[in-house]
Amino acid sequence: MPAVPGMYQQAPSCWDRVKLGFMIGFCVGMASGVLFGGYSIVRYGLRGRELINNVGKAMLQGGGTFGTFMAIGSGIRC
């Protein structure tokens, strides 16, 4: 599609960058929560429903924590 004269793309706003930073941090934190939380919980000896519940908690805690720090870092860079 050809470019329309007089129309420019806008850079993402600061709020958009903060949201994107949080989402990326949340995904990375959830992945690390699965790895580290899953390993420690299996080592602890939990199985079945207890395992699933505790891995889910570790995922949400890791995602929330890392997402918050990434959002703060993205906000500082704005």
Burial class, 68, CB count within 10 angstroms (exposed 0-12 / middle 13-18 / buried 19+): middle
Residue 2 lies in a domain: no
Q: Is residue 60 part of a domain?
A: yes
> Does residue 37 have a pLDDT over 60?
yes
Under 8 Å between Cβ of 39 and 58? no
**pLDDT above 60 for 71:** yes
Structurally, how many domains does the chain consist of? 1
Confidence of residue 8 (pLDDT cuts 50, 70, 90): low
| pLDDT of 34 above 70 | yes
Q: Residue 32: which domain range?
A: 19-75
Q: Which residue do the tokens 């806008």 mark? A: 10
Q: What is the pTM of this model?
A: 0.78
Q: What is the pLDDT of residue 3?
A: 57
